[in-house]
Amino acid sequence: MVRHHQRLLLLLFGLAVSPATGVHAEDQEDIVPYKMLRSLQFVQDSVVLGDHSAAEMQRFMLGTIDQRLRTIDPSVFDDERNVDAALIYAMSGGNPETLEYLVARDVNGHFDNRVSDVLRKYLSGKGLLVAKSLVETANEYKDKKIGPYLALVGGNVTIAKSPVEALKLYDQARLYAPGTIVEEAALRRSVSICVEAGMVDKGLDYSQRYVRRFLHSPYASQFADLFVSLLVNHDHEVKPDDVVNILSFMDEARQREVYLRIARAAAIAGKGDLARMAAARAQTLAGDSDNAFGALADFYGGMAAIPTDKIDAATKNIESIPEQELSPRDQALRAAAKAIAEQVLRPPEPASLTQATTPKSNGQEITSEQAEADQGEVPNPVPGPVVGESAGGPPSDVGGQQDADPSFNAFVTSSRSQLDEIDGLLNKESN
């Protein structure tokens, strides 16, 4: 099937060998650029629609078009379709130096200087210098073949200064190039803008469109990361039904993977409700807890339950998962979760619950509360040092009575040490 598809691509490209004659169906030197570009677009669209075997063909065609554009007779650009093909090739992952080569030899003025100049700066990494011109050019050429591509690159350089304007350009690109690699890129980058700008409703709408149209794209994993960030960063604005409805367009295996990603990210971020919801959905899709996916769902759900009154069950859940079933990153999370749970469940030291006492001059002891009350009756008491100062000795903690309790100091030291370890684990996780 794959070989048949690749042969079809070669036929479209005009390079297939005829079984009867043993020669090319059309001599490669006679193929005009706009026909070659059509084949490239077909391949690129096939890739984002799920045919990953076409990726190698894409690289081959980009190289072949590059060679053809550099050796072609300049008169071929009398046809405007070939000019557009050269510009689109440059915006489709082609060699930017080839555009420089063509513009430098354009003695007949085939290339619009405004378009070629802004594209050359964009492709050389100086797009911010021509952002305004790119937007104007994209709007001017929106009805032309190069319009969707110009809108896409215009959105790319406008994101930093005006996310709203970038969304408009991406919408324009999608409108004029539906079902193509241009729409896939525009949708994915629109979700990214919504994550950063907190545009939750728009982000959910773009996400649903992406899932329905480009679920099998090789960039779908990148989209999934953005979608998870949108949910976790704005969990109070997202309804669980919205998540379920969007992910319902996926097959069960992909749903389970995304729910696990949501549960993990939400548990780390302390978004317990979202983490438990996603873990429960992943557990349902996993079938039971005897497989790896079910164990992961239990693990993330247990992490989310640590700050709740179900911490006992959550701790047992986390401890019951074999370490070999967890990735190194999840093993670090497990260690951090166990350390936190142990500190929460640890009973206080009996000595730390006793009140500090102060000896009286008559040999009896009084509580610190009584000492403060008695001190209030002393006329003209000598003022003590302010916080941070000492009277002939080292500074003490606020409330200084804790110095008399060694067990309390030991507990604080131990707790701080374990919390430092937890911080270290979480820092490794975030990196």
| C-beta separation of 40 from 12 below 8 A | no
Band of the pLDDT at 287, cuts 50, 70, 90? low
* Of the listed ranges 8-12, 187-191, 359-363, the one predicted with least confidence: 359-363
Token pair for residue 105? Answer: 């030899």
Q: What is the pLDDT of residue 361?
A: 47
Token pair for residue 312? Answer: 């006992």
Structural element, H or E, at residue 359: strand 357-359
Q: Pairing mode, if any, of strands 365-367 and 357-359?
A: antiparallel
- Distances in Å between the Cα of 326 and the Cα atoms of 1, 116, 271, 318, 330 are 37, 52, 21, 11, 6
Task: Give me the helices (H) in 49-112, please.
Answer: 54-71, 80-91, 96-104
Instruction: Give which of 272, 202, 192, 199 is closest to 228, Cα–Cα.
Output: 192
* Spatial distance between the Cα atoms of 226 and 219, rounded to a whole number of angstroms: 11
pLDDT tens digits, residue range 354-379?
555 545 545 454 444 454 444 444 44
Band of the pLDDT at 401, cuts 50, 70, 90? very low
CB-side neighbour CA atoms (13 Å) of 413: 6
What residues pair up with 367 in beta bridges, in sequence order? 357
* Spatial distance between the Cα atoms of 282 and 154, rounded to a whole number of angstroms: 39
- Distances in Å between the Cα of 288 and the Cα atoms of 281, 298, 300 are 12, 10, 15
pLDDT tens digits, residue range 247-285?
999 999 899 999 989 988 888 887 888 988 988 898 888
Q: Taking 70 as the threshold, does the pLDDT of residue 351 lie above it?
A: no
Residues 6 or more apart from 297 whose CB is under 8 A from it?
259, 260, 263, 279, 280, 282, 283, 286, 289
Q: What is the pLDDT of residue 39?
A: 95
Q: Taking 70 as the threshold, does the pLDDT of residue 232 lie above it?
A: yes
* Domain ranges (residues) in the chain: 178-245, 251-362+402-431
Q: Give SS3 for 375.
A: helix
Token pair for residue 86? Answer: 């050269």
Mean pLDDT of the chain: 77
* Spatial distance between the Cα atoms of 224 and 317, rounded to a whole number of angstroms: 27
349 against 233, higher pLDDT: 233
Instruction: Give which of 151, 127, 131 is closest to 139, Cα–Cα.
Output: 151
Q: What is the pLDDT of residue 283?
A: 83
Band of the pLDDT at 1, cuts 50, 70, 90? very low
* Spatial distance between the Cα atoms of 180 and 37, rounded to a whole number of angstroms: 14
Token pair for residue 77? Answer: 């650009």
Band of the pLDDT at 192, cuts 50, 70, 90? very high
- Distances in Å between the Cα of 84 and the Cα atoms of 55, 99, 242, 428 are 23, 12, 41, 49
Q: What is the pLDDT of residue 25?
A: 41
* Of the listed ranges 61-65, 242-246, 269-273, the one predicted with least confidence: 269-273
- The mean pLDDT of 304-328, rounded to a whole number, is 59
- The mean pLDDT of 127-137, rounded to a whole number, is 92
Residues 6 or more apart from 119 whose CB is under 8 A from it?
87, 90, 91, 99, 153
Q: Taking 90 as the threshold, does the pLDDT of residue 66 lie above it?
A: yes
What is the pTM assigned to this prediction? 0.70
287 against 3, higher pLDDT: 287
Q: What is the pLDDT of residue 243?
A: 95
- The mean pLDDT of 169-175, rounded to a whole number, is 97
Residues 6 or more apart from 426 whose CB is under 8 A from it?
268, 336
Band of the pLDDT at 222, cuts 50, 70, 90? very high
| C-beta separation of 148 from 182 below 8 A | yes
Q: DSSP character for 386?
A: P
pLDDT tens digits, residue range 67-108?
999 999 999 999 999 999 999 999 999 999 999 999 999 999
Percent of the chain residues topping a pLDDT of 90: 51
Q: What is the pLDDT of residue 385?
A: 34
Q: Give SS3 for 17.
A: strand
* Of the listed ranges 16-25, 87-96, 104-113, 297-306, the one predicted with least confidence: 16-25
Q: CB neighbours (10 Å) of residue 63?
A: 12
Give, rounded to a whole angstrom, the gap between the first and last alpha carbons of the chain.
42
| Phi/psi-derived region of residue 19, left when phi > 0, alpha when psi is between -120 and 50, beta in every other case | alpha
- The mean pLDDT of 21-50, rounded to a whole number, is 79
| C-beta separation of 40 from 58 below 8 A | yes
Diameter over CA atoms, the chain:
121
* Spatial distance between the Cα atoms of 87 and 115, rounded to a whole number of angstroms: 9
